[in-house]
Amino acid sequence: MSPEQAGSPSQADGSAAWEAVLTSLEQDAAGQTADPGAVAGWSEPAGLGPIPRELVGRASRLLAAQRDALAALEASRRSVASQMGALRAVDATREPRGSVYLDASA
């Protein structure tokens, strides 16, 4: 890439768009940490093009943070599943509360 192309307006626009997307994702990640129900959904932004080289490190750190959050959620899911299994085992040992005799004379 020539020096004239390196500072082109389209490249600056692409860098600004990527910075905005990364900032939004970082804020969403921070919100998820504070309140897991805070972020409702996400859709992939269109037309960004390749990530600028100077933002790769920032994107990598964000990816690592998202992977850590995913691992924490998976650990929580396993814990809840284990607790639900224990509750089901206790519930299975309860005796029925309804009638156990049948009045055949009626």
Q: Domain spans of the chain?
A: 12-31+45-91
pLDDT at 1: 41
For residue 3, pLDDT over 60 is answered with no
Q: Between 59 and 90, name the one with better pLDDT.
A: 59
**Mean pLDDT within 75-86:** 94
Pick 33 or 27 by higher pLDDT: 27
> 84: phi > 0 → left, psi -120 to 50 → alpha, else beta; which?
alpha
pTM over 0.75: no
Task: Give yes or no for a contact between 23 and 61, defined as CB atoms under 8 angstroms apart.
Answer: no
Which one has a higher pLDDT value, 104 or 11?
104
